[in-house]
Structure 1
């Protein structure tokens, strides 16, 4: 039995080598699908690991207060889109939450708008404008590259630029003293943040593409009402966060007359939106990769049907000297499995290479594990075998007399 298997294997390799170009094109179809799957899975593992570390980091020290409607399902309370909708949180909430013992709070009024450089060289750079207080620097663990953060001495005309926004707007990250115009009002750059390289984080904003001003200043663009989408609370001690959350809930319940139009998020619920975002992306890309793999599988079927037609006489001779249907089927299934295996290995390696290339521009690195390798290569082999079944059965069921006439 083992000798017969190796004989089938040798014949399969020789057959595929005899039609190199056709085999290459068929393997390419499988390779593209598997490369996509391997890249997506390794990046998804990296993203999951990244978000898990964020959840661990924030679980004991950070609570987010976000606006929500009483009828909103819990799954939507942490939707990033809600950050930019009408809010129920007020300045009074922010002030009183900031007075909770052993904690620090920073309100975040978020507005999407366009910024212009004063000299007119850049007209309409889209950015996220954040109205907040001086506490946000420490709470969000941001670092300054140049200048200072929001302070009383820079008044309502001071603005702190995200690193990439400063480059896009002024052509350099060293943009202190430059003037930007927002909806007709001028702001002087008093500080520039270091790059965070974290477009996805529990705050729901990309600080590299954001501009930060005083909460009182952003009210000029919202009819003199602070549209606070969230309030970030950080514990200043190593004590459990629960007492702070309990006090925050009591304050909000009192201010909102017991109407539950807010949500206090801690632990994993903070990173849930990011996890859901990556999950949706993985699902979409996996479907696309699956379609690509399906096309590759159809390619395998086509080449095997061509092989069966070209080797009709060979099959007839083997049947005439006693080869069983099972042996004929195995011969062609081994060929299709080899195509899947080679395409799977090449695709997995290409997918990893692409994932690591993307990882250079992402806040996390892809994760390599044997499960991803086994799933990618195993899927390729199963695809090869599945789409090789019909041609193999067709070859085995041919009339040997008719085959020998060719």
Structure 2
């Protein structure tokens, strides 16, 4: 009996394909948005954990701007996200202050140097970020140079550079980049190495290391012609078990040099993961609200279409009741149509979300994570909500008086 109702419902849905497609749109949007965002969030989190583990769990990150308010309740707000995305600069003396703290093995400042990159023939390199840093940057980032060598302690003012994978492709095409030169701020700089591909970093969303050139910090200072303002300093302690004590000392030291202003953040590896997790959670919550609204709109759409269908099929209802169909059977028929609309919408949403995630994998460095529990859960909720919105039209159809229904025609 149930199968018969579903077959009739499917025939009815196929009979009005355009209207059915528009009706299912809200359900599709709900499933796609939730599944895609959750998958992206989990994928980014896994990538960040891998990056933190590669760099070492004892690494301490100092950033410009205060993003530490999340410590009080374990969450971040929009103002914290704006601070993370803006990459506020630190003071030039901060790296020296940090290096002077007892228990610090080394510090690695990162500062951007503005200017155009071009080849010897005058060809522009386009939008490429140039970052001044020190010889310990590769170790601090937990990243390797796949070709050539990273600059050493004797290269503080050398005209050498390590380039990202995308820079190598854009500047030198099929040529081997090692030993090749490019022009930057009037100086010829030789490529000494190429970094392995970097993954997406949610805490530096506007900075693509694959599209960056790394030069020695001293060279960056000379080329900038003024003080370099690092946007981030990484600190490696001498002992891995001294991280908590060192964090306190770093805060105290920077508070003095910043004259008591809390315009910096000191984050351990655990803090970094928590911050990223909170950011992803905030984004997921926002998208979840939008998806709920889309589902509500989709449910109302199903109800309106079903009400219109009941009015259009008044004669059919009258005929069926006159030949013995019960009110329960009429209600089941229309309820089955609402169920089919919701179910098909959920299935299309799942397929669309898989397609979107595949597109993200192919076109970006992101690796979305699939959670079938989330996928099935949001689909089930969508089907239930859509079916419930079809209940009122089904009840209205069941209450039709067969005599009045036939009299209208």
TM range (shorter): 0.7 to 0.9
The equivalent residue for 1:83 is: 87
The equivalent residue for 1:127 is: 128
**Residues 71/175 of structure 1: CA separation in 2 closer, same or farther (3 Å cut):** closer
The CA deviation at 1:334 is 1.7
Check whether the contact 1:89–1:229 (CA below 8 A) recurs between aligned residues. Answer: no
Quote the Cα distance in structure 2 between the aligned partners of 1:37 and 1:220: 49
- Secondary structure of the corresponding residue to residue 330 of structure 1: helix
The CA deviation at 1:132 is 1.4
The equivalent residue for 1:93 is: 97
**Residues 109/283 of structure 1: CA separation in 2 closer, same or farther (3 Å cut):** same
- Note the 1:222-301 alignment, pairs <5 A: 222-235=224-237, 237-249=239-251, 251-253=253-255, 255-256=257-258, 260-272=262-274, 274-275=276-277, 278-279=280-281, 282=284, 293=295, 296-297=298-299, 300-301=302-303
Quote the Cα distance in structure 1 between the aligned partners of 2:263 and 2:93: 9
The CA deviation at 1:168 is 2.0
The equivalent residue for 2:48 is: 51
Worse-superposed segment, 345-354 or 27-36: 27-36
**Residues 319/346 of structure 1: CA separation in 2 closer, same or farther (3 Å cut):** same
The equivalent residue for 2:386 is: 384
**Residues 55/402 of structure 1: CA separation in 2 closer, same or farther (3 Å cut):** farther
The equivalent residue for 2:145 is: 144
The CA deviation at 1:61 is 1.2
Quote the Cα distance in structure 1 between the aligned partners of 2:50 and 2:142: 15
Question: Aligned-pair RMSD on alpha carbons?
Answer: 3.8
Please, which runs of 5 or more residues in structure 1 have no aligned partner? Answer: none
Q: Deviation per CA, 1:42-75, whole angstroms, max 9, x where unpaired?
A: 2223223333455566673110123347998975
- Secondary structure of the corresponding residue to residue 118 of structure 2: strand
Check whether the contact 2:55–2:143 (CA below 8 A) recurs between aligned residues. Answer: no
- Note the 1:28-47 alignment, pairs <5 A: 30-31=27-28, 33-47=30-44
Worse-superposed segment, 286-295 or 43-52: 286-295
Worse-superposed segment, 388-397 or 22-31: 22-31
Please, which runs of 5 or more residues in structure 2 have no aligned partner? Answer: none
Q: Deviation per CA, 1:311-370, whole angstroms, max 9, x where unpaired?
A: 212212344467665553332122111111122123213312431342345545333334
Quote the Cα distance in structure 1 between the aligned partners of 2:289 and 2:183: 44
Answer yes or no: is 1:395 the counterpart of 2:384: no
Quote the Cα distance in structure 1 between the aligned partners of 2:70 and 2:223: 31
The CA deviation at 1:202 is 6.7
The equivalent residue for 1:339 is: 341
Check whether the contact 1:338–1:384 (CA below 8 A) recurs between aligned residues. Answer: no
Q: Deviation per CA, 1:289-329, whole angstroms, max 9, x where unpaired?
A: 56665665455345434532342122123444676655533
Worse-superposed segment, 114-123 or 249-258: 249-258
Check whether the contact 2:31–2:379 (CA below 8 A) recurs between aligned residues. Answer: yes
